[in-house]
Amino acid sequence: MIEFTSKSVQGNEQNEDWVIATPIFGLVIDGASGLYSGKVTHYASDAQWFSHRLGKLLTARLNDLSKPIASHVKAACDCLLEEYRELLARKKGDYDLDKLPNATLSVVRFNEFTNQLELFQLGDSPILIEERGQLMILDDENLGKSDQHALNRMLAIAEEKQISPKEARPFVNKLLKQNRRKRNSSEGYWILDPTAQGIEGARQFTLPLNQITRVAVMSDGLWEAYDILRLYSSPQDLFERLFSSELDEILEEIRTIQKSDPLFEQYPRFKLMDDASVLIYTIDMI
């Protein structure tokens, strides 16, 4: 028996996350907010277009257990690259790899035919898995290191100019763009965009399904409750709270703390609030 639920709450001007949980699979996509002006698509942002269109395409494909998750991801990206190029041509725009929308992608799939939990994790939307009572965490530390470097620079600028961290945020936009140019390379971090190149850097493996009891997948907007806001002393504490409380309560706690620090002084970060999404599964295969 598999029980599940999911939740997504907007934190930006538009929700660039996508989350869905079904009896067979669950996925979280976190679109990276654009650093450039303008957009190509008809969505509120190109990041929202990519995350939501990718989510819909994968939702239609992932029930096919005969193909690995990565195969479905590649097929979806091929469709989206063609669609993006068509939209770009209508606007007579130039193809610019730096401006391609990109997103994290974390997928869990329950294959009862092979008795395997299939995992695909790309970017910094963590997957937390309870296996034989032990918590396993899948996350990308490289992306976090790049962001931390920019965050440290933002705080240094705030101190130098005697302004708030929020006011210093525009001064690191160039650095953030430089970081993004290193995506999908050994010098940077791995993430998904319509070229599908990021699949090369994805964590992909399986675990025996009958040894898994609980699974949680979240965007970094919810993971922030642990690694930035310190509402929980450990990933284990956050994990337990997800299964013992209403998801709305946890999300409201996050928003309350964020709103209490409008200048980013107590909890240094790049934006007041981020989109926050999560899905949880309880598995009993006995």
φ and ψ of 175, to 5 deg: -65, -40
* Helices assigned H by DSSP within the chain: 46-61, 69-90, 141-161, 165-168, 173-180, 220-227, 235-244, 247-259
Average pLDDT, the chain: 94
pLDDT for 210 equals: 93
pLDDT tens, 170-179? 999 999 999 8
Question: Which among 15, 127, 152 is positioned nearest to 69, based on CA atoms?
Answer: 127
B/e letters for 46-65, b = 16+ CB within 10 Å, e = fewer, are: bbbbbbbbbbebbeebbeeb
pLDDT tens, 5-30? 999 999 988 999 999 999 999 999 99
| 8 A C-beta contact, residue 6 and residue 27 | no
Q: What is the DSSP letter of 102?
A: -
Q: How many CB atoms lie within 10 A of CB 197?
A: 16
* pLDDT over 70 percentage in the chain: 99
Indicate the pLDDT class of residue 143, thresholds 50, 70 and 90.
confident
Quote the pTM value: 0.95
Beta-carbon contacts of residue 20 (< 8 Å; ≥ 6 apart)? 6, 26, 27, 55, 59, 279
Q: Is 97 helix (H, G, I), strand (E, B) or coil?
A: helix
Rounded CA gap, 245 and 228, in Å?
21
pLDDT tens, 92-119? 777 787 889 999 999 999 998 999 999 9
| 8 A C-beta contact, residue 112 and residue 74 | no
pLDDT for 284 equals: 86
* pLDDT over 90 percentage in the chain: 84
Indicate the pLDDT class of residue 62, thresholds 50, 70 and 90.
very high
- pLDDT, greater one: 55 or 143: 55
Indicate the pLDDT class of residue 286, thresholds 50, 70 and 90.
low
Q: What ranges do the domains of the chain cover?
A: 2-283
CATH class for the region spanning 2-283? alpha beta
Q: Map tokens 């600028």 to a residue.
A: 157
pLDDT for 161 equals: 97
Indicate the pLDDT class of residue 195, thresholds 50, 70 and 90.
very high
pLDDT tens, 260-281? 999 999 999 999 999 999 999 9
Q: How many CB atoms lie within 10 A of CB 284?
A: 9
Indicate the pLDDT class of residue 36, thresholds 50, 70 and 90.
confident
Mean pLDDT of 31-52: 90
pLDDT for 91 equals: 82
